[in-house]
Amino acid sequence: MTEFDPEKFEEKYVHYLPELERAYRDAFEHMNDRYDSELVHAIDQQVLDDSEPVYEGDGHFRVVLPEDPVDRLDAVLVPDGKAEETITIYADRIETELRRIFGFEDGDDRDSE
């Protein structure tokens, strides 16, 4: 577990790149095991590649998505509702992984959902 410094997170790609990559990778693996893998891959490559993790304080992170994330999905055909729901679940999972990696919660709920 990496000791977290909120001020360093402002330059997250300098100070925390391995942790960020791990959070995104762990979230991907979680999602890929539970949801349509074609959709998960598309979200990973076409939406999350332009996302931005933000630290909001008190151990809470938020993943800022690009505008119109569903419209970015051009490699898969799914109903908009399913795509939007899966994007939301995926972003929530990244936030969970960030909290876990930076020690704001334990790993006991990693396999929930």
Is the pLDDT at 3 greater than 90? The verdict is no
pTM over 0.85: yes
In a domain, residue 23? The reply is yes
In a domain, residue 66? The reply is yes
Average confidence (pLDDT) over 39-52? 96
Residue span of the structural domain in which 27 resides: 6-106
In a domain, residue 112? The reply is no
* Phi, psi (degrees; rounded to nearest 5) at 35: -130, 170
- pLDDT tens digits for range 55-66: 999 999 999 999
- pLDDT tens digits for range 59-98: 999 999 999 999 999 878 887 799 999 999 999 999 999 9
Residue 71 gets which letter from DSSP?
Answer: G
In a domain, residue 113? The reply is no
Please count the structural domains in the chain.
Answer: 1
What is the SS3 assignment for 44-67? HHHCHHHCEEEEEECCEEEEECCC
CA 56 and chain centroid, separation = 15
Alpha helices in 6-107 (DSSP H): 6-9, 12-15, 17-34, 37-46, 80-101
